Structure 1
Amino acid sequence: MIQKKIFPILLLSIIGCTLTKNKSNYASELSTFRQEYKDGFLHDDRSPLTKDDLPFLDFYPADPAWKLICQCTKVENAKTFDMPTYSGVTRLYRVYAMADCKYKGKDIRLNIYQNMTQPANPLYKGYLFLPFKDYTNDEETYGGGRYINLYEKDITDNQITIDFNKCYNPWCAYSSGYNCPVPPKENHLTFEVNAGEKKFKGTYKKQKSDK
């Protein structure tokens, strides 16, 4: 009788330890990702940030619950369209696929886009773009929405993993002078996404032409 009571307790203990370890491993993985993200600003001549700005980047704590496995449906023969940017120019895109998933009972449907402005550019080979807005915008996160980078190779067996912990701010969140796509209405979520990059805590920069 005692053994029967002990076994479920041991089982729950093992499960609890495994979940804690997995969460710890994920936090470490995300920490590495974010450090590489910060370093990227220092290796791009167009970057709006310097080394002194990096401590002002802010993020939500790692939350594996926001790493979602979504059903992914490719859109065949989608027409290209002009996606507006916050600077007023447009960029040519097409809907590449639609992603459907759930977060704590909430249905999520998002369009995944392919940049058609420079299809022959090797930098865009296999690259997919997921811009979105949510109810944290203006309050906790940048008002213009956030982005997630994806790739064609991420789609396997009609599924794709979308990790909102890895969403990031457009460069327009830090400085004027950039052409940052405006997330289409189809990708406006009607709830808070408390994951990924938060508002920049540093000073917003203005290009000389804007002064």
Structure 2
Amino acid sequence: MNNVPRQFCLLLLSLTSLNASAQSAFDQQIAAHREQYKAEFLSTKSSPLQSQEAVSLLRFYPPDSMYRVTATVQLTPRMAPVDLPTSMATRTATEAPYATLSFTIDGKPCQLTVYRSLSLANNPLYRDYLFLPFTDATSGKETYGGGRYLDLRTRQIQNGKLMLDFNKAYNPYCAYKSGYACPIPPAANRLAVPIKAGELTYGGAHQD
């Protein structure tokens, strides 16, 4: 009997070590993703941030695995394409609702619609791209008021499930500079819960 408490303590230490190792690997994965994200600003001609100094002002929440969730996917093949309004009043973005994603954040049920661009669907390089625009309770406060985006792929859907990692949520270009037509998340994609993961508001001045 005297060995039971000792064995229990060893088990707890082992589980704690495994959890710490998993969190460390997750942190490294998100850090690598963000470095690649920053590099793309400097390698893209149409980017609103064209200097290392400007890119250094990007800000993010600390990585948090609570915001990496498994969503149930309900495909919506019969839904007609919609014209999403953009940050430029004279332009819209035509997107086809591809699926409804149902998941839980902090014990609260959530639902989002993921879209497929009709123009990109005709390009073999981007045929499997999916677009998820959303706002949440942090929008206009800690994060960009016009919402954030997640990029997904159709091949990520496995057995009716999809991993959503909000740590990879990013701002549209219009969060940094005017002149871009950024799709505005529809009312159905406005989450009441705070998503304290991914990109924060830009640390520099907005360029008009």
TM-score w.r.t. the length of structure 1 is 0.95
Query: What aligned pairs does 1:50-199 form with structure 2 within 5 A after superposition?
Result: 50=50, 51-88=52-89, 89-199=91-201
2:29 corresponds to 1:7: no
CA distance in 2, matches of 1:119, 1:127: 8
Report SS of the residue matched to 1:179: coil
Equivalent pair of 2:133/2:147 in contact (CA under 8 Å) = yes
Amino acid at match of 1:46: S
Deviation string 1:153-181 (CA, Å, 9 cap, x unpaired) is 11000000000000000000000000100
Amino acid at match of 1:199: T
Report SS of the residue matched to 1:83: strand
Deviation string 1:24-80 (CA, Å, 9 cap, x unpaired) is 000000000000000000111100002220110000000011000111111122211
Shift of 1:134: 0.6
Amino acid at match of 1:73: Q
Deviation string 1:66-101 (CA, Å, 9 cap, x unpaired) is 000111111122211111101120111111011111
- Structure 2 unpaired stretches of 5+: none
CA distance in 2, matches of 1:104, 1:3: 37
Aligned residues: 206
Amino acid at match of 2:152: L
Equivalent pair of 2:100/2:112 in contact (CA under 8 Å) = yes
TM-score w.r.t. the length of structure 2 is 0.96
Equivalent pair of 1:134/1:188 in contact (CA under 8 Å) = yes
Equivalent pair of 1:91/1:117 in contact (CA under 8 Å) = no
Shift of 1:201: 0.6
Report SS of the residue matched to 1:142: coil
Report SS of the residue matched to 1:147: strand
Equivalent pair of 2:173/2:182 in contact (CA under 8 Å) = yes
Deviation string 1:76-132 (CA, Å, 9 cap, x unpaired) is 222111111011201111110111111221101110101113431244310000000
Structure 1 window deviating more from structure 2 (110-119 vs 192-201): it is 110-119
Query: Identity across aligned pairs (percent)?
Result: 35
Name the counterpart of 1:36. 36
Equivalent pair of 1:53/1:202 in contact (CA under 8 Å) = yes
Report SS of the residue matched to 1:117: helix
